[in-house]
Amino acid sequence: MSRALIAKRFTPYSPRHQSLPVFDFLAPSLVPWTRCVRRVPITTTAASIDSKPKPKPKPKPKPKPKPEPEPHHAESPQLRSKKHPFSPEQQRFLDRALRVNQAGELAAVLIYAAQTPLLIRSHPQLRPLMKHMYDQEEGHFQTFNDLIARHRVRPTLMYPVWKAAATALGWSTAIMGRETAMACTEAVETEIGGHYNEQIKVLLDWAEKMETQGEEVGEELKDLLRNLRRIRDEELEHLDHAVSNDAKSAEPYELLTNIIRSGCRTAIWISERV
């Protein structure tokens, strides 16, 4: 290979590039970089000169974009396909109901969380029962978190107040003893169970009217009814546990349960509106 050829082969840029004015550095789009950087292989053999240019490789097909993952609380495809739009009046009812339910379940979680350590210290045999009820309340709370997100319902503004009140109620009744703690559970679950029953009755009326008018009851409504019935039954199970653990032996039972029940009704009334 001659000196001239070697020099030409290893020159990084063409003379044309070297003669570019300096300001091209500040405006890279003006520079014909592809022409400058690409080097044409210089070969001296006859075979390489005679050989035909290789065909360009076919462009690879672009990979298909992956489908986006479903969100955490995704509705089932069946639920999406059979959505029944609620009327504005029905939506207002759901706003109030779901807001109250979510706040009530948060309060229940906090009551059991405050009661459990004190109760099981003096009555270790209650540990499985308290854990079972706590776990169910946490599940209820999660269910209503998902439902208020799906139905775009605003949570109550009273959240911080209810959190403090529920913790104080759980702690104070557990301090007063097992019977008082169980009386608290009985009172709360009586009010909550009745509250869920009223909501189930309203939703059943809606379903009945739809069927009377020849409309299909949507999966949204069926799903709400399923959840409310399941949670209502679990609340009534808690009530039974409380009664079987001497809730009625609390002193003074009537005064205590009446105060707690009226407190629950007040909290429900406020949470529906605020």
Residues forming the site for Fe ion (CB under 5 A): 105, 108, 137, 140, 235, 238
Which residue's CB atom is positioned nearest to Fe ion? 140
Answer yes or no: is 151 a known binding residue. no
Query: Whose structure tokens read 């702690």?
Result: 171
Q: How far apart are CA 44 and CA 253, in angstroms?
A: 108
Minimum Å distance from CB 67 to Fe ion? Answer: 36
Minimum Å distance from CB 203 to Fe ion?
Answer: 18
Q: How far is the CB of 130 from Fe ion (least distance, A)?
A: 12
Nearest Cα to 104, choosing from 234, 258, 222, 221? 234
| Residue whose token pair is 């209502």 | 232
Cα separation, 141 vs 105, in Å, equals 5
Nearer to Fe ion, 101 or 207 (CB): 101
Q: Which conformational region is residue 54 in: left (phi greater than 0), alpha (psi within -120 to 50 degrees), or beta?
A: beta
**Coil, helix or strand for 202?**
helix
CB of 179 or CB of 191, closer to Fe ion: 191
In the complex with Fe ion, the residue whose CB is nearer, 110 or 153, is: 110
For residue 235, say whether it is annotated as part of any ligand binding site.
Answer: yes
Taking the least distance from each CB to Fe ion, the nearer of 133 and 203 is 133
Residue 137 among known ligand-binding residues: yes
Structure tokens at 168: 């104080």
* Residue 140 is labelled as binding a ligand: yes
Going by the DSSP 8-state scheme, the letter that residue 51 receives in this structure is S
Report in angstroms how near the CB of residue 140 gets to Fe ion at its nearest: 4
Per the annotation, binding residues for Fe cation are 105, 137, 140, 189, 235, 238
